[in-house]
Amino acid sequence: MTTNLLHPDKWVDLYADYLFNYAVARVSDAETAKDLVQETFFAGLKSAKNYKGDATERTWLIAILKRKVIDHYRKINSKKGKAEVRINYSSNSDSDGDWLEEQVADPFSTLENDFIENEELGLAIQECISKLPKKQSLVFNMKTIQGVSTEDICKELGINPSNLWVMVHRARTALMGCLNENWF
């Protein structure tokens, strides 16, 4: 039986601090992070029968915690929670409400997490772009996102190339500051 590969009696000593630091970095609230770690341990116990031993206990627990963090943001309907997670769910399952723990993905597969993080990052970038001054935002979008040539942008907006690059640089600097504050 695979449960003998797990050592739940050692989880708190071995992984609690690591999981807490991971969670608090994502939810920015110590109490919520503690709750998420506790929920992770509980979910790990409930889904121990699904542990295949392909990953370390810590990696497996992090995979569970990632989904707990996503659920947390969904519950509070935050910007980060708007990203969708696609997890196969069988409606024929008898385990009402336990589907998340039973569908913990392979921790070595980052595809679903990449999608979530890209979606979240995209939302954060769009919000930060909306905070830029109008002309700066326009120049940044045209040059960086739409890929319009420097010459075409300068003609359309009546600016010179050095002015364009100053605006792009300022936009990038402002975006990095905004993303550091609101995303990283």
User: Tokens 């708190």 — which residue?
Assistant: 12
List pLDDT tens digits, range 132-142: 999 998 998 88
Average pLDDT of span 161-167: 91
pLDDT over threshold 70, residue 58: yes
Strand, coil or helix: 171: helix
- The kind and range of the H/E element at 20 are helix 8-27
Strand, coil or helix: 75: helix
List pLDDT tens digits, range 21-55: 888 888 888 899 999 999 999 999 998 888 888 88
Cα gap 171→106, rounded to integer Å: 39
The amino acid at 129: I
The H-assigned helical ranges of 47-160 are 57-76, 99-102, 111-130, 134-140, 150-157
The amino acid at 141: N
List pLDDT tens digits, range 106-125: 444 444 455 555 666 777 78
pLDDT over threshold 50, residue 95: no
Q: Please tell us whether the domain made up of 131-182 is placed in CATH 1.10.10.
A: yes
Average pLDDT of span 172-182: 84
Output the CATH code of domain 2-109. Answer: 1.10.1740
Location of each CATH 1.10.10 domain in the chain: 131-182
8 contacts: CB under 8 Å, gap ≥ 6: 41, 44, 45, 48
Structure tokens at 91: 């409606």
Pick from 25-34, 95-104, 140-149, 155-164 the range whose average pLDDT is largest.
155-164
Average per-residue pLDDT for the chain: 76
Location of each CATH 1.10.1740 domain in the chain: 2-109
**Residue 8 — φ and ψ, nearest 5°?**
-60, -30
